[in-house]
Amino acid sequence: MKFLRPVFVVTILALILETSAFAAPEKNAHQPKLQSLREHISLVKSLPSEMKRFEYQSGFQFEYPDAVRGIYVTGHSAGSGKFKQLINLTENSDLNSMVIDIKDDWGNLTYTPDDSSPYKKIGKNYIKNPTQMLKTLEQKKIYPIARIVVFKDTVLATAKPELSFKNGSKVWVNSRGESFVNPFLQEVWDYNVEIAIEAAKMGFQEIQFDYVRFPEGFETRDKKLQYSMGNYEKSQGDDTQKRVQAVTDFIAYAKKKLEPFSVKVSVDIFGYTATLPEAPGIGQNFSKISEHIDVISSMIYPSHWTSYFGISKPDLEPYKLVSEYAKLESNILSNLENPPISRPWLQDFTATWLGKGNYKKYGKAEVEAQIRALNDHGINEFLLWNAANTYSKNVDYTP
């Protein structure tokens, strides 16, 4: 004989006593209450002891690779004949992943959402059939990562100047004609998180947030521009700390909102951020960001460094530069309780703008040198950046 749990016994006794003391004189007055009791017990017994949280199912089946070895793919490439070339590249090599633009560097969606979507107006028909694209990736066993550019967003800044930074009566633009939206504002957070959720619903297995920061050099203009600090206006700390807190809070918020969709969350971050306690203008703190994500992707292109590591011309020494960075990063991550996966961005382009004698042509040897430097420090994942999506030939991606 099975015994009722204590809570059921107490409930039964309470109802019996209540029936005895207050029952009306009619002969069968207690029957509805006993019936209700039986229904209550039946209902409680049918509920699981621990409710499983909601998880969205996109219908796609992808497995996380042994180690992500990926390439960057623009919306234009993903929606054109070049996509087939990039598929062939992964099939004929040890590459296994693609980082695909879903919200690009200007703030456009790279596909056209449904008519009911609030993002219909910012959609571009670069990727004409996202579902078919993901089906192809599923068939080819290529791990799909959705890149979402967050706070660099000329489209949103132009449409809603109050969400941006203003220089007098105009929206501020940088030297490249780009505008940023304000990381202090909840409305900006939600705008980007909802786009990330849509990408997760499509079937992307990971959301990669890029430009999760204030504009470069913001510490030199933060007192000159007009903008709201939202809820951070009265928070503790100086302006640098407020920027760090806003960026970190956004990442934690986005991670929480994406939990029901079973996607990994990764963040792109300046490589030099790991060399500082925190980057004063842009609001990035390597350790704090790392505490809230699954993957950290530092952009450690040799061409983008000065002589910080004692290497006078870093672009000429890809192995040494990446090796020095890897040692530094590994030391930082080892001090975290739950460190994210390290998956740096590597250089597969030639930095001619550095001038003669300061750069070299990047190809098979230079790409392999960077990968080998990571591997030598126990880092087995990487992403390759080439803005035109033209990658070096005959590279051994597992040297």
Q: What's the one-letter identity of residue 60?
A: F
Per-residue model confidence (pLDDT) at position 101:
98
- Those residues of the chain that have pLDDT short of 50 are 1-52
pLDDT in tens, 246-284: 999 999 999 999 999 999 999 999 999 999 988 889 999
What does the CA dihedral 209, 213, 217, 220 come to, rounded to 10 degrees? 170
Q: Is 358 exposed, middle or buried (0-12, 13-18, 19+ CB in 10 A)?
A: middle
What's the rounded Cα separation, in Å, for the pair 316 and 360?
6
pLDDT in tens, 27-50: 343 444 444 444 444 443 444 444
Is 163 within 8 Å of 187 (Cβ atoms)?
A: yes
What's the rounded Cα separation, in Å, for the pair 353 and 358?
9
Angle, in degrees to the nearest 10, between helices 318-333 and 364-375: 30
Whether the CA torsion 162, 165, 167, 171 is positive or negative: it is negative
Per-residue model confidence (pLDDT) at position 59:
84
Residue with tokens 């900006």: 188
Q: Please give the full DSSP string across 58-124, using - where no structure is assigned.
A: -S------SS-EEEEE-HHHHTSTHHHHHHHHHHTSS--EEEEEEE-TTS-BSS---TT-TTGGGB-
The angle formed by the CA atoms of residues 59, 64 and 70, to the nearest 5 degrees, is: 110
Per-residue model confidence (pLDDT) at position 54:
57
**How many CA atoms lie less than 13 Å away from 259 in the CB half-sphere?**
10
Record the pTM. Answer: 0.86
User: Hey, which residues does 143 pair with through a beta bridge?
Assistant: 97
What's the rounded Cα separation, in Å, for the pair 377 and 227?
43
